[in-house]
A and B are shown apart, each in its own frame.
Chain A
Amino acid sequence: MQGGAAGSAYRGRTASIGFAHGPLVRVDAGGGGERVAGTLVEEALALRKAIDLASGQIADLAASAGGEAAQILEFQVALLEDEDLIEAIFASIGEGRPADVAWRSTLDGQIAEYNSAADEYLQARSSDLADLRDRVVHILRGDEGEPLKIPSGGVVCADDLPPSRFLEIDWSGGGGLALLHGSPTSHVAMLARARGIPMVVQLGAIPDAGATALLDGEGATLELDPSAEQVRVFEKRRESHRKSRASARAILRRPTASWRGERIKLLINIQRVDDLDDADAQYADGIGLMRTEFLLAGRSDLPDEDTQFQAYDAVLRWAGARPVTIRTFDAGGDKPVPGFTFDGEANPFLGVRGLRLCLARPEIFAVQLRALARAAVRGNLKVMFPMVTSADELEAGRKLFADIVQRLQADGIAAMLPELGIMVEVPAAALAISSFKASFFSIGSNDLAQYVLACDRSNGALAPLMDPLHPAVLELIARTAEHGRRAGVSVSLCGDMAGDPRCVPALLNCGLRELSVNASALAQIKQTIDRLSSGGSVG
């Protein structure tokens, strides 16, 4: 902060893209120091009041946040209402410990126990306990109680930030989040991306000074007390970011892509409902792949029917008349899910995964199929099964699905059997493609290439061999496309190849006319097809 000199710049990791220029707001530095303990009675009263206040705050947060956040918070409220837990803390105060010390040591004990559990669900709950611990400690120390007041456009700087604190901040005036630690995969990073708040994590140590901040979520930098020159360069980057997005949208707004006079449908892949917040998503011809594994992640139990129905319904409402292809749970392989997938398989990529797993766990599969059957009446829904080897598996899945639809209808619940298709990712399915009575096919080129080439796609040593343009892979893609053309069944491709401009000419030459890519790649792929169509190179 020397007058006139350039401000200091720090680099971290991107958690959410965007730009913020505003006052730096430090949160939670030091925690407000020590409090002076009172008598035993005063301490007990202080804790009782702090617990009541915390309980009210969490209930308010849950009510305004709703959904998944509300469920996370409900567990915290239940802990505050746990008399056994709370009585032990009052007993500790009765032995002469200050309220904050007694509270903290009991909660720390619980956190340590959760962290030592082999069970990852229990481990994940420890961050909820830490969130609760800190909230009550802050109230006891008198440095919390009112929601955080963040000036409009402020850059919030903290060591880490629990989800409940993020939700307390009013982000309507913009702003950004700069964390010294934290992770791009944390719950708070998901919330930031969903709200379009720029966020940079793992900035390391930052001096305890600074009044103004420039946060660049794209370059993952934080600049404190910038010089006029730094501000000028930052604003230039912000402007060029805005322009590049604007030009991408200009390409996207053009009429549908075509190649050699044939229409090419460009759809998007989504991992979760929030992915539809991407501004480019609206220009897609539909959703070619909605993965559903996000429903299984980061929670203490498997998602119930209504939770699932609401996610599917939200996507169908977004899509309107456009098609939405939802893939049933593709767990197993490199995606283990406790309580669902089988442990101890010697070779999980060749194990009980995808549809194989769902057929082996019909009680779990049935919940998803019920939610899908109810969603099918709400829009243009198609459902596909992953990791299918034989036509019998498709028929077994279809029978389960049809029975469920029949039972729902018998109970007077609106439901229907959607169009059923399969992922083509097992070489046997590609080779015997005509044996499947599917309404559509979607080629999963990542797994197809892995199985055809006999290369574990997570094994870096095999990267040179792992070539999706290998003639054997292209041969299977071409055969599948050719079968679809003759049988009048649509064939799309939803793997990484579709989003790779270098692969697009080969895919079009194989006969594919539908590609499904991440929303962020949509503009580039549309541009690639546009160039190929006008005789240009891929560029």
Chain B
Amino acid sequence: MLDKADGQIFTGNVRLVHAVGMHARPAVKLTKLAKKFEAQISVRVAGAPEWINAKSVAKIMAMRAAHGSTIEIKASGSDAEAAVAALVDLVASDFPDGAG
């Protein structure tokens, strides 16, 4: 669906260092941060068949990403590049307090 400049897709990969994986608190932080962006953002555990809406806490929880897994992020839209960078940073820095 490439339409105009907005159609460009940005991607990123980041390892989930959080000790117990993508559980409630990290999931809440990730979706809160994702919602700050206009871009459409999807995530998945590396290699998983389905991409998941990064703004849905229920789906992020259901993804059951384990400690040490790699999270793939892709985004399209006006602020997609910044969105990917921010989310990669959040996961890489282990969901610090005050973030998201």
Contact = CB atoms under 8 A, between A and B. Distances in A.
Asked if A and B are interacting partners, one says yes
Interface of A: 71, 74-75, 78-79, 81-85, 110, 113, 117, 119, 121-122, 125, 128, 299-302, 304, 306, 338-340, 363-364
A122 B19 CA distance: 15
B61 A125 contact: yes
Nearest to B35: A81
B28 interface: yes
A340 B19 CA distance: 7
B58 A79 contact: yes
A123 B64 CA distance: 12
Contacts of A306: 97
24 contacts: A75-B57, A81-B35, A83-B55, A84-B53, A84-B55, A84-B59, A85-B59, A110-B58, A113-B62, A117-B64, A119-B64, A121-B23, A122-B64, A300-B20, A300-B24, A300-B26, A301-B18, A301-B19, A301-B20, A301-B24, A306-B97, A339-B21, A339-B67, A363-B19
Contacts of A78: 27-28, 31-32, 57
B56 interface: yes
Contacts of A85: 56-59
Contacts of A302: 19-20
Contact of B56 (A83, A122, A304, A364): A83
A339 B56 contact: no
Contacts of A364: 19
Given A301-B23, A306-B97, A340-B19, A122 B61 contact: yes
Best-surrounded residue of B53, B58, B97 (most CB of chain A within 10 A): B58
Given A75-B57, A301-B20, A301-B26, 6 more contacts: A84-B53, A84-B59, A85-B57, A121-B23, A300-B23, A301-B24
Interface residues of B, number: 26
Interface in B76-97: 96-97
Nearest to B98: A306
A508 B75 CA distance: 69
Nearest to B32: A78
Q: Which 10 A-B pairs have the closest CB atoms?
A: A339-B20, A300-B23, A84-B56, A300-B24, A78-B57, A302-B19, A339-B19, A75-B24, A85-B58, A78-B28
Contacts of B4: none
Interface of B: 17-21, 23-28, 31-32, 35, 53, 55-59, 61-62, 64, 67, 96-97
Contact of A304 (B23, B55, B67, B97): B97
A208 B35 CA distance: 48
A352 to B, nearest CB: 16
Contacts of A339: 19-21, 67
A119 B66 CA distance: 10
B64 A75 contact: no
B69 to A, nearest CB: 12
A71 B58 contact: no
B19 A84 contact: no
Given A119-B64, A306-B97, A339-B67, A82 B58 contact: yes
Contacts of B58: 79, 82, 84-85, 110
Nearest to A302: B19
B37 to A, nearest CB: 14
A84 B41 CA distance: 13
Contacts of B62: 113
A301 B21 CA distance: 8
A200 B96 CA distance: 40
Nearest to B28: A78
A75 B97 contact: no
B32 to A, nearest CB: 7
A461 to B, nearest CB: 35
Contacts of B24: 75, 121, 125, 128, 300-301
A75 B25 CA distance: 7
B13 to A, nearest CB: 20
Contacts of B55: 82-84
Contacts of B97: 304, 306
B22 to A, nearest CB: 9
A128 B58 CA distance: 12
Contacts of B61: 122, 125
Contact of A71 (B25, B31, B56, B67): B25
Contacts of A71: 25
Contact of B20 (A113, A128, A338, A363): A338
Contacts of A81: 35, 57
A339 B26 CA distance: 14
A365 to B, nearest CB: 11
Contacts of B17: 363
B25 A301 contact: yes
A338 B21 CA distance: 10
Contacts of B18: 301
A79 B32 CA distance: 11
Nearest to A72: B24
B38 to A, nearest CB: 14
A301 B32 CA distance: 18
A46 to B, nearest CB: 22
A306 B19 CA distance: 16
Contacts of B19: 301-302, 339-340, 363-364
A84 B56 CA distance: 6
